[in-house]
Structure 1
Amino acid sequence: MWALRRASNPLKNRGLSIRTSRAYCDKSEVPSVHLDDKASNGDFCLAISEGHTFLKRFYRASHGSPKSFVGQCSFSSQADSESSTQEDDNLEDGFSELETPANAKVVQDSHADEGNEDELISDLELSEDEDDDVEADITEKKSQKRASSALFDAIMGAPGLSVQSALDNWVEGGNELTRPEISSAMVNLRKRRMYGRALQVSEWLESTKRLDFGERDYASRLDLIAKVRGLLKAESYIDKIPKSLRGEVIYRTLLANCVATNNVKKAEEVFNKMKDLEFPITCFACNQLLLLYKRLDKKKIADVLLLMEKGNVKPSRFTYRLLIDTKGQSNDINGMEQIVETMKAEGIELDLHTQSILAKHYVSGGVKEKAESILNDMEGGDIKGNRLACRTLLPLYAALGKGDEVERVWKACESNPRIDECLAAIEAWGKLNRVVEAEAVFGRMKKTWKKLNAKHYSTLLKVYANHKMLTQGKDLVKQMADSGCRIGPLTWDAVVKLYVGAGEVEKADSILQKVAQQNHMKPMFVSYMAIMDQYARRGDVHNSEKIFHRMRQDGYMGRMRQFQSLMQAYIVAKAPAYGMRERMKADNLFPNNVVAGHLASVDAFRKTAASDLFD
């Protein structure tokens, strides 16, 4: 216990005291963790045993988070965003880390559109799909290789008919509707993010009673409803599931979708509901909360770790991955390495995925020697025989500025490249300011694969945006439209940054508003922030407030990053910001050191040396 107190001492400066205020007495014997009503400077005291060591490792070094105030909660929604703007930039642009594996191969003849781009690009390096835990843990488990499905082809080959009609015709044609055939079709629909069609398939199966639904089939249906119609519809659907089949899988599916949409309050409600129903607290459920708090409220990570400790929930590889990445984002290299040591001590070896996270943070932390050592380990001495590592190595070598290494790795792929390797190569050449090489790889893609989707175009579009190549970017967008490629939030983000980089922020603002209204789709968080930050730098309070309001209308609220940018606009304009502190409080946000300084600068009633003379 004393060792734990010592390991926790660096957290004193955060003004946070966490305690186990009462035991939640149920069969799982998992405590209900509360945060103190009042901020204090007391020790970070956790009444836990000497069991797992990952808690100690995680808190051996400080996150560097400034003081803050946290109100009482029992996993209630007190979303205090992290102070690090880097994390906001990296994580708040998207939602479902678990939907797309980092090393997932893009299907060459994909029919995927960009309808849910914001699910594609957040925290891809932290996918849990590589472990046994899967987001919805449903019947149609994701496969890295395309499963052939005649039923899927029939669904896709009937554009003028509804999915139900295509299914009716399939059965009337004498085709056998087996569970493997259904599962294969659902896998293909999900891989292409055609959730609406997949939901129609599920509804048809249930209404026609062609399939005897079990708990996992209902979980699959629940997952699709959440993705297509929202959390409220999904939650109400649970009441329609037979009571005997409303098990832990059902609720963890809902929990995962709450996390996917960054809905802290609803995620905590579902988690507490699972405890009330006396379901066992699983590593999957805890990982979901860790994932959520990693983005929005790092202080609550301690609560989840305490629950795992008390409930004797053994951390998975994904748990360690989350903690390693959290330490890395705080630039706590020593703390990150201590988590790795604990992971190894528990018998979990570093896989390619975890190595890539370590290497990324070594690069960003300026520890180049260790980054290169990790990259050498990832290669394994034979890059041609280790093609899985290529797509990860390319951008990492580029981040180190090693153009020769990028060339070497790309040559190992060039004779027969995979599409994900091409995308990684485009990204790498872009980082090295070698746009011609990036364009050459894209040209190779267009010749090799007849149909490219918006994600493929957007990779090169980002390169143009980063190099302020407005004309080339416009031409590429025109090519996308001419090819019949559906353009969505991921492409909008690249276009926004293209115009912002060219100094045309008003044009970027206009485009984003127009496409969002026409397509009835929500732009990404980072797209809004790219525009808002530019207005803030100009001291344009009016337009900064306008973007702030639009973000709230789209559900982006309760995030410190937005208030920081908004206050910057007032600071540059040298204008008072009336009621800013109250606005933050209404969103359950409480200022850290940086934000407190901004608030003091824009306080209309602040005292100064000059004002004291005349009072």
Structure 2
Amino acid sequence: MLLHHLLPPSSRAPFRPSPRRPGCGALTVRCAPSSAASPPASSSSSAGQQVANVHSYGTVDFERRPALRWSSLYRRVAVGHGGRPVGRTLADWDEGERRLDKWELCRIARELRKFRRFNLALEVYDWMTDRRDRFSLSSSDMAIQLDLIAKVRGVPDAEEYFEKLPDPLKDKRTYGSLLNVYAQARMKDKTEYTFEQMRKKGFATDTLPFNVLMNFYVDVAEPEKVSRVTDEMKQRNVGFDVCTYNIWIKCCAAMKDADAMERVLNQMIADESVVANWTTYTTLASMHIKLENFEKAEECLKEAEKRATGRDKKCFHFLITLYSHLQKKEEVYRIWNWYKATFKTIHNLGYQEVLSALVRLGDIEGAELLYEEWASKSSSFDPKTMNILLAWYSREGFVVKAEQTLNRFVEKGGNPKPNTWEILATAYLKDNQFAESLSCLEKATAVKSASKWRPRPTNVESLLAYFKEKNDMGSVDRLMSVLRSRGCAENEEYKSLIDTYALAVAGT
């Protein structure tokens, strides 16, 4: 991740040789030597995905250590071995199997972050924090923990954590993490204030904080401010990296200036300190698709293919997604076959990317075959994979197929998430099965998870209108119970619906 570049050599662990260049962590600032443009369908969050996938806050050095048998413990933590909390799993291993060291724990946390298991990664760091007499945590570790706290518990908790840090640990790493937290939350005043504090303290001397700020301005639809940031970088002699150029390209696309995109690319090619990689060209392709320059987009994807490496699955993910946006079905299958021939194991995310692409292309027969392939091979039944097909059935009104798909998923040991139940609830609504739809919302509410799920206001409104018309106050009460259990009472989107319920009760 980007904050890695802020670390002085003295803050890193002793160098351990590696046959390849160190990889990067998985925070969420969005950009990196190996990040890529997000698909055009989510262009504002796309800028975000870039600074992120490369943020290890200086702990990337752990990867240089020769591989140990840490993977067994990782699997126990990732699957919630025995339904126990992470801390209990770690303690049992530490006491019964082998004494844990910091490298193993940070490696496990890094893998969990890579797969967006932020809550579990935070529990690993919390376990180490409770044992500070044994594990020496640096400001780099604090920066990662701060980011995880923001993702899992929210920005206020992250702010409180930062304020309690000793002054010596409030350095460019932890400040950079706090800056990223505010930028991710799109809190403009706090983002700009924190960057100004970094300026005053002499922490704005590296590429990372500038990239975060540039990316923030793209996200909040103020791309015209990006040029000020690049000008300041030039004045301060802060070198540009791949992320800087990629965000700049996104900025040009946001302003619908294709000529400026080409100028930035040419400047990047002329910059001997930067090597354009597949990320650069998938970024360009994504932006050309957004600007409807489809021929140029395809040319960029061909350039990205030339730079694809057998180590990086993300490249294949972006190629599949972007070719599907170009409606290139044959290319999607070609990249998918290349992907399967390159990697022995295809994880859930790989299936999710290609399944989404086939649904986008309207190739439902192919999507169903792919889903069956995944279901027959997977040992981890991630509902996100099933939800892709389920959502299509819901949109198209295939209620029976949606029911059958969900039932088979549960029979195989899958655990539906709240979103899964709401997808089916929406299908029932379209089919005028209101009682069944309400039952699905209740099942969604009953799922024990850290999900912030709340029922869609449009679904709540449809159900409330129907039950009022039928004078079915028992069902209305059940619906209100769903809202209360999910903390909707104080949310503005739901207040008018709740007021409508109150009037209905008063009129009975």
TM-score, normalised by the number of residues in structure 1:
0.58
Q: Give the Cα separation in 1 of the matches to 2:492 and 2:182.
A: 13
1:168 to 88, 91, 95: 91
Residue 169 of structure 2 is matched in structure 1 by 245
Instruction: Give the 3 Å change call, closer, same or farther, for CA 97–366 of structure 1 in structure 2.
Output: same
Alpha-carbon deviations, 1:376-417, whole Å to 9, x = none? 323339999998754333333333333333344444456667
Question: For residues 289-328 of structure 1, what are the structure 2 equivalents within 5 Å?
Answer: 289-298=213-222, 299-328=224-253
Question: For residues 157-556 of structure 1, what are the structure 2 equivalents within 5 Å?
Answer: 158-159=81-82, 161-173=84-96, 175-208=98-131, 209-298=133-222, 299-347=224-272, 348-380=274-306, 389-413=315-339, 418-419=346-347, 420-464=349-393, 467-488=396-417, 491=420, 515=444, 521-523=451-453
RMSD: 4.6
Instruction: Give the 3 Å change call, closer, same or farther, for CA 289–203 of structure 1 in structure 2.
Output: same
Shift of 1:343: 1.6
Instruction: Give the 3 Å change call, closer, same or farther, for CA 434–301 of structure 1 in structure 2.
Output: same
- 1:379 counterpart SS class: helix
Residue 152 of structure 1 is matched in structure 2 by 74
Question: For residues 15-54 of structure 1, what are the structure 2 equivalents within 5 Å?
Answer: none
Instruction: Give the 3 Å change call, closer, same or farther, for CA 553–521 of structure 1 in structure 2.
Output: farther
Q: Give the Cα separation in 1 of the matches to 2:233 and 2:225.
A: 13
Instruction: Give the 3 Å change call, closer, same or farther, for CA 386–436 of structure 1 in structure 2.
Output: same
2:50 to 127, 137, 140: 127
Q: Which runs of 5+ in 2 are unaligned?
A: 1-26, 463-482, 494-508
Q: Could you tell me whether the CA contact under 8 Å between 2:253 and 2:287 is conserved in 1?
A: yes
Q: Give the Cα separation in 1 of the matches to 2:207 and 2:488.
A: 33
Q: Give the Cα separation in 2 of the matches to 1:252 and 1:389.
A: 27
- 1:202 counterpart SS class: helix
Q: Give the Cα separation in 2 of the matches to 1:398 and 1:146.
A: 37
Q: Could you tell me whether the CA contact under 8 Å between 1:395 and 1:425 is conserved in 2?
A: yes
Shift of 1:280: 3.1
Q: Give the Cα separation in 1 of the matches to 2:392 and 2:276.
A: 32
Q: Give the Cα separation in 2 of the matches to 1:315 and 1:204.
A: 37
Q: Give the Cα separation in 2 of the matches to 1:154 and 1:423.
A: 24
Q: Give the Cα separation in 2 of the matches to 1:438 and 1:172.
A: 46
Q: Residue type of the partner of 2:129?
A: E
TM-score, normalised by the number of residues in structure 2:
0.68
Q: Give the Cα separation in 2 of the matches to 1:134 and 1:186.
A: 13
Residue 476 of structure 2 is matched in structure 1 by none
Residue 472 of structure 2 is matched in structure 1 by none
Q: Give the Cα separation in 2 of the matches to 1:532 and 1:319.
A: 44
Instruction: Give the 3 Å change call, closer, same or farther, for CA 339–146 of structure 1 in structure 2.
Output: farther
Instruction: Give the 3 Å change call, closer, same or farther, for CA 467–181 of structure 1 in structure 2.
Output: same
Q: Give the Cα separation in 1 of the matches to 2:414 and 2:492.
A: 27
Shift of 1:342: 1.8
Q: Give the Cα separation in 1 of the matches to 2:357 and 2:369.
A: 13
Shift of 1:252: 0.9
Shift of 1:267: 2.2
Q: Give the Cα separation in 1 of the matches to 2:45 and 2:429.
A: 21
Instruction: Give the 3 Å change call, closer, same or farther, for CA 302–159 of structure 1 in structure 2.
Output: same
Q: Give the Cα separation in 2 of the matches to 1:436 and 1:199.
A: 40
Shift of 1:491: 4.7
Q: Give the Cα separation in 1 of the matches to 2:430 and 2:185.
A: 29
Q: Residue type of the partner of 1:207?
A: D
Shift of 1:289: 1.8
Q: Give the Cα separation in 2 of the matches to 1:361 and 1:190.
A: 27
Q: Residue type of the partner of 1:311?
A: R
Q: Which runs of 5+ in 1 are unaligned?
A: 1-94, 105-118, 535-546, 557-615
Shift of 1:436: 0.4
Shift of 1:170: 3.2
- 2:51 counterpart SS class: coil
Residues paired across the two proteins, number? 429
Q: Residue type of the partner of 2:91?
A: D
Q: Give the Cα separation in 2 of the matches to 1:328 and 1:430.
A: 27
Q: Could you tell me whether the CA contact under 8 Å between 1:222 and 1:238 is conserved in 2?
A: yes
Instruction: Give the 3 Å change call, closer, same or farther, for CA 383–354 of structure 1 in structure 2.
Output: closer
Shift of 1:435: 0.4
Q: Could you tell me whether the CA contact under 8 Å between 2:226 and 2:251 is conserved in 1?
A: no
Q: Residue type of the partner of 1:436?
A: E
Q: Give the Cα separation in 1 of the matches to 2:351 and 2:168.
A: 49
Instruction: Give the 3 Å change call, closer, same or farther, for CA 247–464 of structure 1 in structure 2.
Output: same
Q: Residue type of the partner of 1:166?
A: T
Alpha-carbon deviations, 1:128-149, whole Å to 9, x = none? 356xx51655468789x99851
Alpha-carbon deviations, 1:449-501, whole Å to 9, x = none? 22231222233334445655444334434444455545457657866886798
Instruction: Give the 3 Å change call, closer, same or farther, for CA 514–343 of structure 1 in structure 2.
Output: farther
Q: Give the Cα separation in 1 of the matches to 2:253 and 2:434.
A: 32
Instruction: Give the 3 Å change call, closer, same or farther, for CA 440–414 of structure 1 in structure 2.
Output: farther
Higher mean C-alpha deviation, range 332-341 or range 169-178: 169-178
Q: Give the Cα separation in 2 of the matches to 1:515 and 1:320.
A: 43
Alpha-carbon deviations, 1:240-299, whole Å to 9, x = none? 333222211111112212222223233223223323433234321121122222121314
Q: Give the Cα separation in 2 of the matches to 1:393 and 1:433.
A: 18
Shift of 1:444: 0.9
Higher relative contact order (CA 8 A, sep 6+): 1
Instruction: Give the 3 Å change call, closer, same or farther, for CA 413–146 of structure 1 in structure 2.
Output: farther
Residue 505 of structure 2 is matched in structure 1 by none
Q: Residue type of the partner of 2:109?
A: M
